[in-house]
Chains A and B, each alone.
Chain A
Amino acid sequence: MLRTRLLFEKTGRAQYISHLDLLRTFQRVFLRAGIRLRHTEGFNPHPYLSFALPLPVGSESLCELLDFDLAEDIDLGALPARLNAKMPEGIRAVKAYRPETKFADLAYIRVEGAFFYDAGVPGGTVDKLAALFREKTLVISKKSKKGFVDFDIAPCVQSILFTPEGFDRLAVRAVITAQNPALNPENLVAAVRTHLPSCTPDFASFKRLEVLRRDNNVFR
């Protein structure tokens, strides 16, 4: 079996492509590039495609991972360029390789983002936010299939740093859990809205920079 992993970026206009649509998009990119994938057996054969961590719509990423099985042994060095020739704008294959790790060993994501305050960052916000995220518990109300449930995000934030960037925005750098449970960066905003309403940003955006192992080294 020619299990292969692709490291790719999803930025710009492509950040609005949903997870399901991304799956469909990749199926077509492989077909366009003439790269044959091994299909599942059964009534409705389809290629096996597995994304490491679903990326929320409206977030960019430089470190997405996709596993698939090639149907034939091809030059992996040339694979990213072949795919990139057939990609929609904003998705860029970086590297293809034989994986030696399992997605289950993904522990953390390093993200950067920004909190926007259109009327200017309220005084003392950086300190208040820093204090907030030092709390031992940080419970937010999260929508689940069963309705709203309490979710303590404190254990999901390994580190977080706020830095002023101009008068109307704070840069946010954080390391958050990737799974079990995963933290959607939007939950950081929800925590502020819940516990520090006066510091709630008007808008926040995030970008994944790197995926990490439990020992905080880069996951590949």
Chain B
Amino acid sequence: MDKRLERILPKVQKPARYTGGEYGQTVKDLSTVDTRVALCFPDTYEIGMSNLGMRILYGLANRMSGVWCERVFAPWGDMEEALRCASIGLYGLESGDPVRNFDIVAFSLGYEMAYTNVLNMLDLMGLPMRASERKDLTPLVIAGGTCAYNPEPMADFIDLFIIGEGEEVNGEVIGAYRAAKKSGLSKNEFLEQASRIGGVYVPSLYDVAYNGDGTVADIVPREGAPFPVVKRIAEDFDAAYFPEETIVPSTEIVHDRVVLELFRGCIRACRFCQAGYTYRPVRARGADRLVGCGVKALESAGYEEITLSSLSTSDYKELLPLCDGLLDWCEPRNISLSLPSLRADNFSMDLMSRVQKVRKTGLTFAPEAGSQRLRDAINKNVTEDDLIETCRVAFEGGWSSVKLYFMLGLPTETDEDVLAIAALAGKVLHTWKQYASNKARGVRITVSTSCFVPKPDTPFQWEAQVTPEEYQRRVELLRGAMRTRAITYNWHSPETSLIEAVLARGDRRIGAVLERVVKDGGRLDAWEEYFSFERWMNAFQACGLNPAFYAHRERPCGECFPWRAVSAGVDEAYLWGERNAAYKNEITPDCRAGCTGCGASALLKGGACDA
């Protein structure tokens, strides 16, 4: 270890997140390695190590002989200061070697508020932030993840984006890079070549023209670059790699357990949900394989908890056999099974009692909207009866804590819809009073609201976000209607949501804002203690851009979106139809009831969508 680090580490918070050396990390003999990859997560270790995608891509890259993939996370403020003070560049956790000497620096973009961390991390590595200032092939800076469906705000900084799931295409890009390095290609020669790989978007090969009103006029590919770049998926998800042997952090992380991914995609089509559209088509793993993967992962990691993960876990067709298979193994070993993101509609008492056998955790539901009318408009097909019935069963079974998540500012929302949230929470409380098996313990009902952020590739991508002032008015309205002590109300700041909205649907010009914010000291913007709304507003002003143009403007049908050169596989006409259905309060049945023709199944060469 770097002697200078030995002096720093005892003085920073939670130093174990900066050392590497965990059980299960991959260390390779450098004499056998020709390509070094830094897999970077632009948030803290605790967040990044909780990300299943990181573990998948790390495992797959390290399966390639000659390739050594290491992890890099964003340091917390105290560590960043110490690193800068000692002029120590950001290093790979496994080797401790500076990332600036690596071949490929790959960022996972899962959340818009982490963009400033990407820039700051490049700076901490000692690399220029702007792609155009990095003239050499090495190091190549690439990025992928959910946010890459609108790569434009990051287009100035990233050499190459990978669109969609990385399981297959990452290996292809690494392979192309190795060949290019061997034959001495220039960076531009390599990028032109790489743009021919399916799912690869090279932003420097696309020219963007703007209209006088600031909207995008046209996006034109150069040098034969594809238009649009269609996302890649792991077609045979059942057989796709699952990290059975993975890193076990030596310090506590957010999701410190085995995460078993049941299926990709979602049959539900909630109109606000980006993942619900961009993860299509639906592809599931068989219950037998999942039980096998889960048991192997638990054995190899020594974790005492396993959780099931998917966009809507209770829609997994073989959920009961899967839970039985896992519980058969877990129960005698005191290992607990947790089920997140269950829907209130098909949350069966049977399932609940099975999970309860091991450990009883709190119940969390996301009705998203208070009134049935608005839930229909956003296509969140949960009824009040379902929710109340589920709560009744839970209260009878001894649960005494319920969390309810809502969004304010959804398209078509009225004050009546806002007040319906209070009414719904009141009904949950009433249900507890009627049915609780143990009233002495009291009840805790938590209502949380956040400000809706319209996202690309959803039916609401044309919508305006409400202003922070309007959000705050609705918060006060709701607060006034929920006065009982049994109900706790938490609301998220609308300022972060405003910035998130700008970045989510931003164009290439937003890059200058990001750069400005980082140069003004911005980083860790997903963390309240670091986020500064003022710093962002100053940066917009300095760059001559109006955040309201991006966040609060309703787009007309047919507007050329900044992300038009990238396709998530769902037809824009389909999304527009869904948007119109929302305004008529019409629901779209889930994909299992019948295919609604979104277009994503065209991504599967052979089979059909496994809804």
Contacts and interface: CB of A to CB of B under 8 A. Distances in A.
B9 interface: yes
A21 B46 CA distance: 13
B1 A12 contact: yes
A28 B252 contact: no
A173 interface: no
Contacts of A12: 1, 21
B19 A16 contact: yes
B304 A32 contact: no
A86 B19 contact: no
Interface stretch (B164-172, B295-303, B311-319): B295-303
Given A12-B21, A30-B302, A32-B301, A18 B9 contact: no
B566 to A, nearest CB: 40
B23 A32 contact: yes
B251 interface: yes
A150 to B, nearest CB: 24
B350 interface: no
Interface residues of B, number: 26
Given A29-B302, A31-B302, A32-B302, A205 B6 contact: yes
Nearest to B334: A45
A61 B222 CA distance: 61
A24 B252 contact: yes
Contacts of B214: none
A87 B15 CA distance: 19
B20 interface: yes
The residue among B18, B22, B23, B250 with the most chain A CB atoms within 10 A of its own CB is B250
Contacts, number: 71
A134 B41 CA distance: 52
A49 interface: no
B23 A90 contact: no
B43 to A, nearest CB: 20
A57 B302 contact: no
B420 interface: no
A57 B15 CA distance: 9
A58 B23 contact: no
A89 B16 contact: no
A35 to B, nearest CB: 10
A169 to B, nearest CB: 12
Given A28-B302, A32-B248, 7 more contacts: A16-B16, A18-B14, A25-B250, A31-B303, A32-B23, A32-B300, A88-B22
Interface of B: 1, 6-7, 9-10, 14-16, 18-23, 25, 248, 250-252, 299-304, 334
The 7 residue pairs across chains A and B that have the minimum distance between CB atoms: A28-B302, A58-B10, A31-B302, A13-B21, A89-B21, A32-B302, A16-B15
Interface of A: 12-14, 16-18, 20-21, 24-25, 27-32, 34, 39, 45, 57-58, 86-90, 203, 205
